[in-house]
Amino acid sequence: MNLEEFRAYGHQMVDWMADYLRDIETYPVKSQVAPGDIIGQLPVQMPKQGEGMEKILSDFQQIIMPGITHWQHPGFYAYFPANSSFPSVLAEMLTATLGAQCMIWDTSPAAAELEERMMEWLQELLDLPGNWVGALQATASEATLVALLSAREQASNWRINQEGFSGQEKYRIYASSETHSSIEKAVKIAGFGRENLVYVRAKEDLSLDPKALRQAIESDIRAGLKPLCAIATLGTTSTTAIDPVGDMGAICKEFGLWLHVDAAYGGSALALPALRPLAKGLELADSFVFNPHKWLLTNFDCSAYYVQDKAALLRTFEILPEYLKTTHDKQVNNYRDWGIPLGRRFRALKLWFVLRHYGAEGIRAVLQQHMDWATELEGWVNEHPDFKQMAPRSLNLVCFRYAPAGQSNTAELDRLNQVLLQQLNASGKIYLTHTKVKGAYTLRLVIGQSRMDRQHVVQAWEQIVETASQLQ
């Protein structure tokens, strides 16, 4: 391909992108293919000779598109959203074109300095403590691993980095029974051993019970174990329960534990002043992560990680081989030392486009709408005699299930709701996922897709009621 062909295909593709987003509601939200459908259409061997773009693009349409689940479809109510927005997509095109490797300041000073400023903008948007500093990571899973490694090194006085585990360390990590699976993964990777992750009882509202946390820590200390870190979740994945950060922070201070806050999804909500009190006591946290790539209009991947003690972070991850030394190392942020990978994408650019395009008020307006529609939906669920809300709503996720009058057999209710979910998702119009709340099969409906409007929510609810009423 030469430059002029690149230009022509580029224009053609931007037209395709605009058409796709215009027509997105004509696609089934959840891909309807079966396992193997896609790979069966892909040649076993790569081509010997290069192929033309026309053919590649037509195969993209024919083979790939049917196997895509349309996360930007306004009928997407599943998991948590992975929102994009026009400014974010445009910035991603520029990032791909620049193809810069932003591992250290020298390798693109603008990337490092823009990232520094964007972390400050986000800090202000969410009203995070002013003494924190942060860097972008790819995912919350990575940021949580970074937090656990930092806690480990600080507690061992950087000995484990140096000598490895001696086998004598008996570190314990605490999180609620509702915590995200990435915590367990990080505990395994960091070398603590899964059996040292203590799942602390949750209260009736599914938030961590601080009394149970204190008991678990005290009992571990009596047993000669070493409490290291507690993880508070601001918005659990199952039901967006909010752990009591302030209470947990006080307990962590008392016993000398690191407090990490996993606000992967819920963090964005702190941009709304009315919801900021959910994170009361946040200044007690040692580290905090939230994902602009979920609810903040910014394409995956973009995860914002903040710490109180920059020195502890850098000391945990710093490397300085001769070939990476530069003359500015003392004056600038070399983000390779702020996390796991050496190579880094220029992620700050899309944040800059998004935050400038919407402004704080524009972002708050989007989030507030989602909150309002979720409040409305919660009302409809509760007004309907055949539906039941299954968990308290703190953000824009409504957890409910079909529970027709007269039916109280729990196994039968689980079955009915599984069938309901399958039928709704097979319709191609909407996509929901499920969870279990205290053992009961529960539908989750997240109102956070950036392309939806109120009418979509109205229609989704009508479809749910209608489909449920026909269930056998």
Ligand X SMILES: *Cc1c(COP(=O)(O)O)cnc(C)c1O
DSSP helix/strand/coil, 258: strand
Phi-psi region for residue 401, left (φ > 0), alpha (ψ -120 to 50) or beta?
A: beta
Region from 166-174, 230-238, 277-285, 401-409 binding ligand X, contact rule CB under 6 A: 230-238
CB of 294 to ligand X, least distance (A): 6
- Count of helices and strands (H, E) across the chain: 14, 11
- Residue spans of alpha helices (H) in 156-228: 159-163, 181-189, 210-222
Three-state DSSP state, 231: strand
By beta-carbon proximity to ligand X, the closer residue of 208 and 416 is 208
Q: Would you give the end-to-end CA distance of the chain in angstroms? A: 57
φ/ψ (deg, to 5) at 203: -80, 180
Least distance (Å) from ligand X to the CB of residue 446?
10
Q: Which two tokens stand for residue 225?
A: 């174990």
180 binds ligand X (CB under 6 A): yes
237 binds ligand X (CB under 6 A): yes
Q: Between 345 and 387, name the residue whose CB sits nearer to ligand X.
A: 345
Strand 258-262 relative to strand 287-290, pairing: parallel
Tell which positions 51-110 bind ligand X, by CB under 6 A. 80
Sheet holding 133-137, edge to edge: 133-137, 303-307, 287-290, 258-262, 226-233, 171-176, 197-200
Single out the segment in contact with ligand X by CB under 6 A; choices: 206-214, 233-241, 336-344, 404-412.
233-241
For residue 384, the minimal CB distance to ligand X (Å) is 28
Judged by CB under 6 A, does residue 238 bind ligand X?
no
What residues between 125 and 144 interact with ligand X by CB under 6 A? 139-141
Under the binding rule (CB under 6 A), the answer on residue 299 touching ligand X is no
Minimum Å gap between C-beta 258 and ligand X is 17
Among 77, 265, 346, 400, binds ligand X (CB under 6 A): 265
Q: Which residue number, 86 or 300, has a Cβ lying nearer to ligand X?
A: 300
- Give the count of beta carbons closer than 10 Å to the beta carbon of residue 26: 10
| Binding mask of the shown chain, residues 367 to 406, with x at each position contacting ligand X by CB under 6 A | ----------------------------------------
- Between 301 and 376, name the residue whose CB sits nearer to ligand X: 301
Q: Are residues 209 and 167 in contact, defined by beta-carbon separation less than 8 angstroms?
A: no
C-alpha 224/C-alpha 169 separation (Å) is 10
Nearest CB to ligand X, comparing residues 114 and 264 = 264
Nearest distance in Å: CB 339, ligand X: 13
Smallest distance from the beta carbon of 190 to ligand X, in angstroms? 15
Closest listed residue to residue 74, CA positions, set 386, 359, 449, 446: 449
Query: Closest approach of Cβ 228 to ligand X, in Å?
Result: 19
| 139 and 303 Cβ atoms separated by less than 8 Å | yes
Of residues 107 and 291, the one with the C-beta less far from ligand X? 291
224: left (phi over 0), alpha (psi -120 to 50) or beta: left
**Under rule CB under 6 A, residue 146 binds ligand X:** no
Q: Does 207 bind ligand X (CB under 6 A)?
A: no
The answer to the question of residue 264 lying near ligand X (CB under 6 A) is yes
| Site membership for ligand X, residue 262 (CB under 6 A) | yes
Least separation in angstroms between residue 433's CB and ligand X is 12
Q: By CB under 6 A, is residue 233 in contact with ligand X?
A: yes
H helices of 406-449, where?
410-426
# chain residues binding ligand X, by CB under 6 A? 14
CB of 123 to ligand X, least distance (A): 19
Judge contact between 258 and 287, C-beta under 8 A.
yes
**Of the candidates 303, 316, 394, 449, which one interacts with ligand X according to CB under 6 A?**
303
CB 415 to ligand X: min, Å: 28
β partners of residue 441? 436
Radius of gyration of the chain (CA): 24
Interaction site with ligand X (CB under 6 A)? 80, 139-141, 180, 182, 233, 236-237, 262, 264-265, 291, 303
